[in-house]
Amino acid sequence: MSYLGIDLDMRNVPELDTDFIPMGPWMIEYEKEADRPIGIAIEREDGKISVFETKLRDESFEEANLRYLERYIKFCLWSVGGWKVTVCGCDDEAAKVKEEYVLGGPRDFDVNFMMNTYERPFEFEICAPEDLPKANDADKSVGGHLEGCRIGFDAGGSDRKVSAVIDGETVYSEEVVWHPKLSEDISYQYNGIVDSFKTAASKMPRVDGIGVSTAGVLIGNAPMVSSIFLKISRDRRR
């Protein structure tokens, strides 16, 4: 099978979509003869920047280059999140992909999502290799603390789970059905969470720490994207 001039081995062709192209295998084949280095920087909150490096093929693979670059940038953007994309090493291709990352363009969903998440305009810049922003990632150590009296809480969209743990051993656990996705009154979510905390705390002599798991995107302490606050306005989540 060939796609945009790149041959790939398609061992299992979907019966209901014989034209389906798996991007993973296609990109692997594409990269085998790619030799033009490019860099992509993604900036998110607090000046954090992630930098990715890859390569494009020569200019004779114009369509394949554009497809690869667009997919690669999208993958990087959704891997780390961010409000600004900076690309170097492929001005012509980057300029065409930039036209897609605008409101109303082919990547309108991506742009809207990142703008709403980071609460600032989405930017796409093209620069010289020497001007590509430097990586500024910040690692955070999360979890791994088993000593003492701790609460583990999972805020799900259809139920909430809580456990009381003493020195790594579970002494109490419960699961409560709730419907936070349907509530426009934030006190419903608040009271449900506090109730679970209090129940778990009552099973231990003290509380040394609380760990929370929930689906969504948190920037700082604010749930910018959250399955349990679907009907709660943004300004009431902070």
List the domain boundaries for the chain: 2-131, 149-236
Digit-coded pLDDT (tens) for 104-150: 999 999 999 999 999 999 999 999 999 999 999 977 777 778 899 99
For 191, other C-beta atoms within 10 Å of its C-beta total 12
Phi, psi angle pair for 53, to nearest 5°: -125, 135
Q: Which pLDDT does position 52 carry in this prediction?
A: 98
Short-list 100, 27, 117, 101, CA closest to 65: 27
pLDDT of 227: 87
What is the side-by-side order of every strand in the sheet holding 159-166? Answer: 169-177, 159-166, 149-155, 209-214
Residue 40 pLDDT = 98
Considering the segment(s) 149-236 as one domain, its CATH architecture is 2-Layer Sandwich (3.30)
The string of DSSP letters for 129-189 reads: GGGSPPPB----------SSEEEEEEE-SSEEEEEEEETTEEEEEEEEE--GGG---HHHH
Name which of 104, 106, 65 is nearest 87 in CA terms.
65
Separate counts of helices (H) and strands (E) for the chain? 5, 12
Burial tier of 174 (Cβ tally within 10 Å: 0-12, 13-18, 19+): middle
Cα gap 172→194, rounded to integer Å = 16
Is 183:198 a contact under the CB 8 Å cutoff? no
Strand, coil or helix: 229:
helix
Residues of the chain under the 70 pLDDT cut: 237-238
According to the model, what pLDDT value does residue 29 have?
96
